[in-house]
Structure 1
Amino acid sequence: MTEATERFFESLPSRAPDLLGGLTDGTLQIDLGSDHRTEHWLVRMRPGSVQVSRERGPADAIWYSSSGLFDRLITGEAQGVAAVLRNESTFSGNVVLFLAFRRFFPNPPGTRDPRETARRAAGRPV
């Protein structure tokens, strides 16, 4: 487990009020594999809040990823949905939880909001 992964999970509760809303309610187990070893994270999501623990437990969804891929996800170098579609990681259960969790990942480096680009092109303030 990398230090970046530890910091990422530690940051979730403080970031949740800005990123989670609506119908997000459930538990996502994240299993990160590396060198024949699996680290477990249990993320309980509710509108505006997250609780994180290093447990396995009853979960509404389970997502498996390699530790290396997860490090790329938390830096914006990879995208979660694309990784699942390419079978680089697996997911089972309530897909809404996976889609909500991916909001915690940053955008790829150099990504710009197309609305901001259009405003600049039109000469309007951003």
Structure 2
Amino acid sequence: MTEATEQFFASLPARAPEILHGPVAGTLRIDISDGHSTTHWLARIRPGEIEIGQGSEGADAVWYCGVDLFDRLVTGRSQAMAALFRNESTFTGNVLLFLAFRRFFPPPPGTRDPREVAREHVRRVR
């Protein structure tokens, strides 16, 4: 498990109130494999909160990916939906849990809010 992944999971409870706005609730198990072993993370999601633990018990949804992909996701170098579409990861269960969880991943490096870009453009034009 990479240090970036450990830090990512440790940061989730503090970030949950600003990210988890909708009425989504349930348990998402994230299975991260390095090819020889698999680490199982449990994300218990409720509106405005997330509880993180480890374990392989049952969940409402299971997302499987490799350690390299997950490291790219937590550093913003890959996008979760694109990884699913490219078959780099797999998912089963309640898709709303995955859609809520992916909002925790950072945007690609250098990405800026389009509203701020537009404001800067207006300031320059004046």
Q: TM exceeds 0.5?
A: yes
Instruction: Tell me the SS of whatever aligns to 1:59.
Output: coil
Q: Distance in 2 between matches of 1:56 and 1:15?
A: 24
User: Does structure 2 conserve the Cα–Cα contact (< 8 Å) formed by 1:21 and 1:46?
Assistant: no
Segments of 5+ residues of structure 1 without an aligned counterpart are none
Deviates more, 1:114-123 or 1:42-51: 114-123
1:41 aligns with 2:38: no
* 8 Å Cα contact 1:63-1:89 kept in structure 2: yes
Query: Structure 1 residue 120 and structure 2 residue 120: aligned?
Result: yes
Q: Distance in 1 between matches of 2:123 and 2:24?
A: 38
Moved over 3 A (4+): none
Q: Which residue type is aligned with residue 48 of structure 2?
A: G
Aligned residue type for 1:95: V
* Distance (Å, rounded) in 2 between the aligned partners of 1:119 and 1:57: 48
Q: 1:90 aligns to what?
A: 90
What letter corresponds to residue 73 of structure 2 in structure 1? L
What value does the CA root-mean-square deviation take over the aligned residues? 1.1
Alignment of 1:10-49 (within 5 A): 10-49=10-49
Q: Hey, what does 2:79 align to over in structure 1?
A: 79
Deviation of the 1:44 alpha carbon: 0.2
Structure 2 CA distance for aligned equivalents of residues 29 and 84 of structure 1? 16
TM (normalized to structure 2)? 0.94
Distance 2:32 2:16 in 1: 21
Give the C-alpha shift of residue 78 in structure 1: 0.2
The alpha-carbon deviation at position 23 of structure 1 amounts to 1.5
Report % sequence identity.
Answer: 61
Measured in 1, the distance between the counterparts of 2:3 and 2:121 equals 40
CA displacement at 1:35 relative to structure 2 = 2.9
Deviation at 1:58, TM superposition (A): 2.1
Distance 1:11 1:115 in 2: 27
Paired residue secondary structure (1:103): helix
